[in-house]
Chains A and B, each alone.
Chain A
Amino acid sequence: MLRPLRDMFKPEDHPRLLVGLEVSDDAAIYQITDETAVIQTVDFFPPVVDDPYDYGAVAAANAMSDVYAMGGEVALVLNIAGFPPQVPKEMIGEVLRGAGEKVREAGAVVAGGHTVEIAEPLYGMAVMGLVHPQRVLTKAAAHPGDVLLLTKPLGVGMVTTALKGDVADPAHVAEAVASMKRLNRLASQLVQRAGGIAACTDITGFGLLGHGYEMAEKSGVQLRFRFSRLPFVAGAIQYANDWLFPAGTCRNEACYRPKTTFEGVEEEMQMLLFTPETSGGLLVAAPPDRAKALLARFAEEGQDVWAIGEVAEGAGIVVEA
């Protein structure tokens, strides 16, 4: 989609842009000084849950996640909103409150924004973060032998789709919403504190296999996931067995099935892994000794983490049973 822009902006004319043109990642990075680089990202989407407060909180956690995936801290946020005229002011207020509280939790500030009238609600944020230019976490740093860690369960996309179809169990929705609202901040900080090089990305619209493939491709390696080790939110497997996949699953499947080899994984479970996630966790690749230390640190801090596979020589993705 960005192809027309490639000829317009030459990397050599913008040496301070560390990530964005020829190297793309979760967000753009622009170096200001030797010590400081700006992380810039934007994200918005239509409501994924019924409650306006939760919608705002999920959208905020999702928008800020790109900054955490790059190893930074969020500094400044601007709202991007569009609502139909008949939506009550109080409801819009709840969306902004849900998002605002997440931004406050992130130690950042909402400094304004822009709202328009449109047919379908849309909410999200332009997010500015900061990172040391030498401490950027990219997708391109995975090496054969690395262990793959995941910091949130998968499958929230199945629950939100079932919710849209009015067939979701409220208990499943509550668990999925709680997971989507959780910031990736602590997980990112723990990876940063562990030091050394680690590859990192967040799992969102392209699902585990799509974002995993980006990491494999940019690092020139193969990612091998073990299906039996993958964590899922309650209900995800059930809705997958009922074949309640959103259209996005098929789009991702068309894109990434050619890059993926499944070994003994049921078709429904394959589709589950192609399903888009919203505000998913971080996928981290780290050498075995550092991964072991990370698992211990995550446990001490009460932060979820699962070792879900390893990095090998080769290309593409392999999912074993």
Chain B
Amino acid sequence: MVVEKVDARGLPCPQPVILTRRALQTCDALVTLVDNETAQQNVTRMAERAGCTVRAERTAEGICLHIAKAAADQSPAAAVAQPVAASPAAGAGPLALVVGSEFMGRGEDAELGSILIRAFFHTLGEVTPQPDVIVFFNSGVKLVVEGSPVLPDLLALRDGGIEILACGTCLGQFGLKDKVAVGVISNMYAIAEAMLGAAKVVQL
């Protein structure tokens, strides 16, 4: 199978989308290289709407978007890739961090839980591997809104290229939809996809 490569670094939108679409007409799988989040988002959403699967990988060169037509899933390359993705130890594929509570751990001391979660996000920027996506749901969404004790850390993580998703239903439940200060308000479809599509899910 031919895997074409599209280098869209340095090109303004919608150029990365146009080049990717063009390449998709002649091949079943390709890698689009972009250098900013907007281009990543635009190419990813276009490709997913066109029925492709997209996997993002951060490299020294930039953000590599591995795009494959759905029908190409049966191809030898995808079959080889699968066992790797299924093995968390290999570290291939996205790493998802899920945060289902505003507190860390399950002890009864809420204050301790709050101290721990602040320390966790404060430290997260300095550890490897970094998550590719952080998903906040249930009372965890309280961490992405105005006044959150971990907001500066989350903003820095986002600026470092980590995708942040917050459950829209949960935000609605707590009446916080207008207060979101970092991340993308997301639905269960996107959240399920981020978790199930990850090579490794770490629950806080």
Contact = CB atoms under 8 A, between A and B. Distances in A.
Which among B14, B38, B39, B184 has the greatest number of chain A C-beta atoms within 10 A?
B14
> Shortest 4 CB-CB distances between A and B: which pairs?
A243-B46, A244-B14, A247-B13, A250-B38
A118 interface: no
B45 A267 contact: yes
B45 A243 contact: yes
B15 interface: yes
B14 A259 contact: no
Contacts of A251: 38
Given A243-B42, A243-B49, A258 B185 contact: yes
A9 B21 CA distance: 51
Nearest to A257: B185
A165 B15 contact: yes
A176 to B, nearest CB: 16
A162 B13 CA distance: 10
Interface in B98-139: none
B178 interface: yes
A257 B12 CA distance: 22
A162 B14 CA distance: 8
A301 interface: no
B177 interface: yes
B148 to A, nearest CB: 15
Contacts of A244: 14, 17-18
Interface string A195-217: 00000000000000000000000
Interface of A: 161-162, 164-165, 167, 242-247, 249-251, 254, 257-259, 267-268, 315-316
B87 interface: no
16 contacts: A161-B13, A165-B15, A242-B21, A243-B14, A244-B17, A244-B18, A245-B14, A245-B17, A246-B13, A246-B14, A247-B38, A250-B38, A251-B38, A257-B184, A258-B177, A258-B178
B180 interface: yes
Nearest to A158: B14
A315 B175 CA distance: 13
B29 to A, nearest CB: 19
Contacts, number: 51
Nearest to A266: B49
B41 interface: yes
Given A258-B178, A267-B49, A250 B14 contact: no
A161 B18 CA distance: 11
Which among A161, A165, A249 has the greatest number of chain B C-beta atoms within 10 A?
A165
A244 B14 CA distance: 5
A167 B13 CA distance: 13
A243 B13 CA distance: 10
B15 A268 contact: no
Interface in B1-36: 12-15, 17-18, 21
A161 B14 contact: yes
A258 B180 contact: yes
Contacts of B38: 247, 250-251
B49 A268 contact: yes
Contacts of B185: 257-258
Contact of B17 (A243, A257, A316): A243
A250 B42 contact: yes
Contacts of B184: 254, 257
Contacts of A245: 13-14, 17, 42
A164 B11 CA distance: 11
A161 to B, nearest CB: 6
B130 to A, nearest CB: 22
B16 to A, nearest CB: 10
